[in-house]
Amino acid sequence: IMHKKIFNFENYGETKSPVPSGEVDVVDPQGEYAYENYNLDQYIGDRNVILIGIPGAFTPTCTEKHLPGFVSNEKNIYAKGIDEIICLSVNDPHVMVAFEDFINFEGSNITMAADPYGEVAEQMSLLTDMGVMGNRSKRFAAIITDGKIQTLLIDEKGLDVSSADNCLKHL
* Backbone φ, ψ for residue 148 (5° rounding): -125, 145
Rounded Cα distance between 131 and 128, Å, is: 9
Q: Which of 40, 62, 77, 167 is catalytic?
A: 62
| 87 a catalytic residue | no
Of 169, 160, 171, 69, nearest to 87 by C-alpha is: 69
* Backbone φ, ψ for residue 12 (5° rounding): -65, 140
Residues labelled as active-site residues: 62
